[in-house]
Amino acid sequence: MSSKSSIIDAIRNIEKEEVHLPRIPYFEGLSYDSTAFFLDMLQRLGVEVIQGNSIEDIPYYLQEREFDSKKIFTQFSELPYRKTLKHGQLESIQLSILNGKVAVAENGAIWVTDERLSNRALTVIGEHLLIAISKRNLVWNMHEAYANISIHEHGYGMFISGPSKTADIEQSLVKGAHGSKSLIVFIYE
């Protein structure tokens, strides 16, 4: 007998009570002002926030910073940065600019997917990360977030809520474990 059938049969042979699957409510938000709550949460997560009008404004905000524009990757076709990478370029990416689909006020997490993501590691491998999110796509909590996305629509998707971090050495919080050392959230109209 295959291991699959032995496992399935073993489960089937157990006498089990029927248990109903509960309905999941959305629950209310923790404040009346989700935007303010979101911004506050990002600050607590050590995230830098830039507010702008549209995606096209991003280069303007980045010009002051010390990024080599050849080493910036983006998912946005309208931005003047790299959309694809050649072998060996991945490791030297300084900034990844990702397209945030849904942002969650309660925990600061933003949903990104592998759409126009030439390599999935670009979610973490860039030295720094910028996620652009429209104010219109802010929801309260994870229940609402999942009601607004389809997790199997993309082969890979993730909620990101800050720079990569660890506290594995004596519980001291250090930013920049394996993924990006900093996160900028660009909020546009």
Nearer to another protein, 118 or 134 (CB): 118
Instruction: Identify the burial level of 128 via C-beta atoms within 10 angstroms of its C-beta, where 0-12 means exposed, 13-18 middle and 19 or more buried.
Output: buried
The correct pick among 12, 86, 87, 136 for binding another protein (CB under 8 A) is 12
With a CB cutoff of 8 Å and minimum separation 6, the contacts of 39 are: 49
Nearest CA among 107, 109, 150, 115 for reference residue 131: 109
Half-sphere exposure of 135 (CA within 13 A, CB side): 14
Site for another protein in 123-182 (CB under 8 A): 123-125, 141-143, 145-147, 150-152, 154-172, 174, 176-180
Return the sign of the alpha-carbon dihedral for residues 81, 85, 88, 93.
Answer: positive
Q: Which two tokens stand for residue 41?
A: 């949460």
Q: Which is nearer to another protein, 3 or 77 (CB)?
A: 3
Site string for another protein, 18-57 (x = CB under 8 A): xxxxx-x--x--x----------x----------------
Both tokens assigned to 70: 């050849």
* Residue 85 sits in the site that holds another protein (CB under 8 A): no
Interacting residues toward another protein by CB under 8 A: 2-4, 6-8, 10-12, 14, 16-22, 24, 27, 30, 41, 91, 104, 106-109, 114, 119-121, 123-125, 141-143, 145-147, 150-152, 154-172, 174, 176-180
